[in-house]
Amino acid sequence: MHKPAGILVNGNSFKTIANALTQNITRSTLSDVAKPQPVHRLDFPTTGILLVGKTSSSIRALNTLFKNRAIKKTYYAVTIGTMEHEGFITTTVDGKTSKSKYKVHQTIDSKRFGKLNLVQLEPFTGRRHQLRKHLFSIGNPILGDKDYGFENLILKGKGLYLHAYSLQFIHPFTNESLYLKDQLPKRFKKLFADI
């Protein structure tokens, strides 16, 4: 499903994706039907694809795939500043080893920010705020990031330019190769041509 910005995936709040699923997606007809639930998280301000399980066996199987890093996640972000064309970031996050890969697809000049980059990201570990912290650590924070950005370069009112674009994995029951994606938001397309 598509997760919009500004909604928690789960937690103590009433307004969460997890709480809204029962009323908004079709119930499974399989015998081990369960209350639908997200099997991973996206940050509150992040948009994009979110995987949901609707049976006890699928929730367990998908959780195992995430735990074993058998699901390839691809994100896109708009970053600020001049960047190398591609590379790896291995800065620790919260004292734990972490690794992300990035590749710059387009760069445009910006009066306010100098350069803006459309960057494809692939996290190899799943630390909290990993991509946001990693990009900040190399001096290229994500546009609109109030937590990990440079104070004079905070974009107000437009949200965080971080989008969970795709998930790629082998279906745990059918062995089918799946590639699920959620198109880039319009605000990304307004900045960069041909995406």
Tens digit of each residue's pLDDT (9 = 90 or more) over 80-98: 999 999 999 999 999 999 9
Cα–Cα–Cα angle for 117, 122, 125, rounded to 5 degrees: 135
Q: Which of 32, 43, 94, 109 is catalytic?
A: 43
Residue 183, pLDDT score: 95
Amino acid symbol at 86: E
- Spatial separation of the C-alpha atoms in residues 124 and 73, rounded to whole Å: 8
* Domains in the chain: boundaries: 2-71+166-185, 72-153
Residue 159, pLDDT score: 87
Residue 172, pLDDT score: 93
Q: Which CATH architecture has domain 2-71+166-185?
A: 2-Layer Sandwich (3.30)
Q: What mean pLDDT, rounded, does the chain reach? A: 93
Q: Stretch 5-27: mean pLDDT, rounded? A: 88
Residue 194, pLDDT score: 76
pLDDT score of 14 more than 90: no
The helix/strand/coil state of 132 is: helix
Q: 2 forms bridges with which residues in the sheet?
A: 49
Residue 150, pLDDT score: 80
- From the list 37, 132, 123, the residue with the least C-alpha distance to 73 is 123
**127 secondary structure, DSSP code:** -
The helix/strand/coil state of 57 is: helix
Residue 154, pLDDT score: 72
- Please give the CATH topology (third level) of the domain spanning 72-153: Pseudouridine synthase (3.30.2350)
Residue 149, pLDDT score: 86
Concerning whether 43 is annotated as a catalytic residue, the answer is: yes
Q: What is the pLDDT of residues 20-62, one digit of tens each?
A: 998 889 989 999 999 999 999 999 999 999 999 999 999 999 9
Q: Are 118 and 191 in contact (CB under 8 A)?
A: yes
Cα–Cα–Cα angle for 192, 105, 5, rounded to 5 degrees: 60
- 40-49, 142-151, 186-195, range with greatest mean pLDDT: 40-49
